[in-house]
Amino acid sequence: MSMAVVSASRAATSSQFEQLREARSIIKQEAETLLELANRLDTDFCRAVDAILQASGRVVVTGVGKAGLIGQKLTATLASTGTRSQFLHPTEALHGDLGCLSRDDVLLAMSNSGETQEVCDVVAAARSLGVPFIAITGCELSTLGSRAEVVLRLGTIREAGPFGMAPTSSTTAMLAIGDALALVVSRARGFTPQQFARFHPGGSLGRRLRSVREVMRQGTQLRLAPQSATIREVFSAKSSSSRRTGAVMLVDDDGGLCGLFTDSDLARLLEQHREGQLDRPIAEAMTQSPLTIDGDALLQHAVDLLSSKKISELPVVDDDGRPIGLIDITDVIGLMPQAQMTNDEIPNDEGMTKLEWRNVGRGQGGNE
């Protein structure tokens, strides 16, 4: 290897080291800014929460530049957590959009310096309309801070980076205090996960927040059998043409769920050459009192149970303990925490994992 190549390699390594050191320094500085902000919070924060809760209208957020972008994010967070909100661009506001404001609203103005002309002009116009406002700014003595009913003071913030010029630490602080404000208001409103789900119907997040009842297999998709039936009788019965589940739910004489018999349980019997057990009551080999879930529970709770208990089927029961559905791991595989799943734990088309197939000789059933 030539000296030139060695030198270039060392230079690249040194450059990467410097880049990582600088990046870590920036992140640590912004983290320190947040800790200082958390310690600086006082009862003015509570006054801001009360102002939003008492407003019968919307929270109208305004800001320009980087602060405006943070304001747009805050607007979205407020809306998704139960507080009606709207972003008002200062320039558009001064050219007619002030008409969206009413006395029932509360204006939330964001400017680190507190001297941004466009924002100050919007605030002055809003005050003439009788609209109360909250300021998120660095100094309560600034033009913006001195005009506000409530000031959430960021304090003197040193921006991150070698020049300390680009809004970095200050916008991080705005983002954090905005999130805190939105979430504390949301909790004070009694906002529920179910309400959150209604505002997030799309994507994996929306699916996680659906109820188990909306996603569970039910009706002809289920395999039900009396606990007194033999294993052969249960598996010889005509099954539905729809995709079958990986488990049979066993019921007692009152129709209550009393056990679960999975495909891995059947595979274990065959692996151990215990064919004689096939003509014995399935109750002798079933998993008794299996883990269950309520139909009104969030799907996320079902996913958590499947993941933490490492099971593949989760029966859904009503208030009387009767089976009304089943969550199969193949139905929620896209929602499982992938970091916790190895290739051995990913189910095949029959709902069985490689790990279950290997465990059939060790006496480990699907819902045990």
What domains, with CATH codes, occur in the chain?
18-191 (3.40.50.10490), 212-362 (3.10.580.10)
Please report the pLDDT score of residue 166 as a whole number: 92
DSSP state letter for 344: G
pTM of the model: 0.70
- Of 300, 317, 292, 311, nearest to 351 by C-alpha is 311
- Would you say residue 345 has pLDDT above 50? no
Of 298 and 241, more confident:
298
pLDDT tier, 359 (very low <50, low <70, confident <90, very high otherwise): very low
Whole-number Cα distances in Å, 308 to 124, 142, 212, 291? 55, 52, 17, 12
Please report the pLDDT score of residue 202 as a whole number: 75
- Of 282, 280, 343, 348, nearest to 312 by C-alpha is 348
Whole-number Cα distances in Å, 317 to 247, 272, 325, 340? 15, 32, 7, 27
- Would you say residue 259 has pLDDT above 90? yes
pLDDT tier, 339 (very low <50, low <70, confident <90, very high otherwise): very low
- Would you say residue 363 has pLDDT above 50? no
Helix (H, G, I), strand (E, B) or coil at 277: helix
pLDDT tens by residue, 181-200: 999 999 999 998 778 878 87
Please report the pLDDT score of residue 236 as a whole number: 85
Average pLDDT over residues 352-357: 45
Of 159 and 194, more confident:
159
Please report the pLDDT score of residue 3 as a whole number: 58
pLDDT tier, 343 (very low <50, low <70, confident <90, very high otherwise): very low
Please report the pLDDT score of residue 336 as a whole number: 75
- Would you say residue 351 has pLDDT above 60? no
pLDDT tier, 52 (very low <50, low <70, confident <90, very high otherwise): very high
Of 299 and 181, more confident:
181
Pairing outcome for strands 287-288 and 257-262: antiparallel
Burial label for 124, CB within 10 Å (0-12, 13-18, 19+), is exposed
pLDDT tier, 246 (very low <50, low <70, confident <90, very high otherwise): confident
Distance CA 42, CA 45 (A): 6
- Would you say residue 348 has pLDDT above 70? no
Q: Which two tokens stand for residue 332?
A: 């929620």
Residue 200: count other Cβ atoms within 10 Å of its Cβ. 15
Distance CA 304, CA 336 (A): 8
- Would you say residue 45 has pLDDT above 70? yes
- Would you say residue 1 has pLDDT above 60? no
